[in-house]
Structure 1
């Protein structure tokens, strides 16, 4: 009987947390480690409780050996075409070759299934991989979590603390979906251990509008923040085109315009979460934006 969960991409921030969440659920976890991986990172995963499978080469045959007793492969690979499509295809082919029943692709984003080509470079790659994935003899489940909540304090400058602003594009009362990284990890662990998952699962630790963010940050900091609208979806689209011409940075994973593309998707009604799957697993508690602000002592 297959009872092992294999995680690829376990050395990253989300991947390591998924491994930890699986171990805390008493799951047997195996992680794929590429050549020349830092010894400290390997030791950290071993201490968590993972079984280490070191690869000599990233190829189908070698990875299939690691998949021999695996019930579900969890991909947390991060990168551009050479990773999300090329490397992940090899991982998927190995899982199919070994007869692994289930596969979780490296999505962990807003639901991009209703968007078109060229609206978001990084999500285009995931959609292209889905075309290949859905043709294979394996059950797949994607976890869509909106945006990682922690981005609010860094890469997604929604809150600007010094001048006490909440800045946004689109509509002030349109709710965006955010999920804390730990909650994504815990939910993904549940999905990996669940043999009867659907093709897509949608979660959001908090669904909150810019206006509600203003209220939350004002309450937490006990300071009055001002809500500032930068423009609508059309203007943001123009800004993205300008940013790409000024600084193409096509080989960078997260150039400035990539973050702008994600924001453009988030304020688009096509990204609206119609039905949440938060309650699928008992024992899940969800971090809110206000919780995150308190936790970070803003």
Structure 2
């Protein structure tokens, strides 16, 4: 018997990895939803297991066509607040109308359930969507994986300097960083998608380490001793990120990474140690050290950007 997984936003980098894991099973059918099916890689679009439906996030007729006959829908949207809130609400409403039993929300990074609205503004849509799902017939599924590992080494966070092999950090350097790679998170998501009994909040992690431990793993894997550079306390970071937003609120990318970093390491959004990893033993967690062992040192800074390929 075929189990049908709907993937909204199938052209995204996370969605493509999710599809690659789902297609390893012959009993899985995939219904993909996107604005431009020509952007779906040929190895996906040519699969006999994949059906693509064209439409935008607010085309209710197309969304219902997409949702029909799905056993679960996974939202892989990534965009502005309108897409992440209203776009997901449109999918959720379609789930109710088309009797789709489960909806996997576009959550993943950080445990936003411990945040108040406005604290980490990019996660506000997730708070709204979770609340919306609580009044619906479709069962909401929320997958939390700590933070994605790849961006830590990219210029976005400005933590790792590949020219000098320096790790910059805020705090005392002993704050826990929970992390999971994109591909590992996609593996866990695939496992949850095909598990018809999985609902509610599910927590997975590839690994937990401090920036000091990550630097030690870097030396172990690459044979290069990195430097550690303190940028100040967490209070210093909090003041700076709010100052930057107050002075130039439209320059979101100038301060957004600081907000993410602050709430990632201040302990508030930790997924913790009570995980669902062991319920899906076929998925092997990829630790910080494992991730570096899989990635050449010269490729680390571009690991996040390479995901779009």
Could you say whether these structures have the same fold, taking a TM-score greater than 0.5 normalized by the shorter chain as the test? yes
Per the alignment, residue 117 of structure 2 pairs with 117
Looking at structure 2, the residues matched to 158 and 42 of structure 1 have their Cα atoms a distance apart, in angstroms, of: 32
TM-score (norm 1): 0.91
Q: What per-residue deviation string (whole Å, max 9, x for no partner) do you get for residues 69-118 of structure 1?
A: 11101001011111001111111111111010000000111111111121
2:264 to 263, 266, 273: 266
TM-score (norm 2): 0.88
Per the alignment, residue 176 of structure 2 pairs with 175
Looking at structure 1, the residues matched to 109 and 164 of structure 2 have their Cα atoms a distance apart, in angstroms, of: 30
Q: Where does the alignment leave 5 or more consecutive residues of structure 1 unmatched?
A: none
Q: CA, structure 1 residues 180+33, in 2 after alignment: closer, same or farther (shift >3 Å)?
A: same
Per the alignment, residue 277 of structure 2 pairs with 278
Looking at structure 2, the residues matched to 56 and 219 of structure 1 have their Cα atoms a distance apart, in angstroms, of: 47
Do the aligned partners of 1:7 and 1:30 also contact (CA within 8 Å) in 2?
Answer: yes
Looking at structure 1, the residues matched to 250 and 2 of structure 2 have their Cα atoms a distance apart, in angstroms, of: 43
Per the alignment, residue 143 of structure 2 pairs with 143
Q: What per-residue deviation string (whole Å, max 9, x for no partner) do you get for residues 97-152 of structure 1?
A: 10100000001111111111211111012111211121111111111111111112
Aligned residue runs from structure 1 range 81-100, under 5 A: 81-100=81-100
Single out whichever of 282-291 and 255-264 deviates more from structure 2: 282-291
Single out whichever of 41-50 and 286-295 deviates more from structure 2: 41-50
**In structure 1, the residue corresponding to 2:112 is in which secondary structure?**
coil
Per the alignment, residue 163 of structure 2 pairs with 162
Tell me by how many angstroms 1:212 deviates: 0.3
Per the alignment, residue 6 of structure 2 pairs with 6
Q: Where does the alignment leave 5 or more consecutive residues of structure 2 unmatched?
A: 298-309
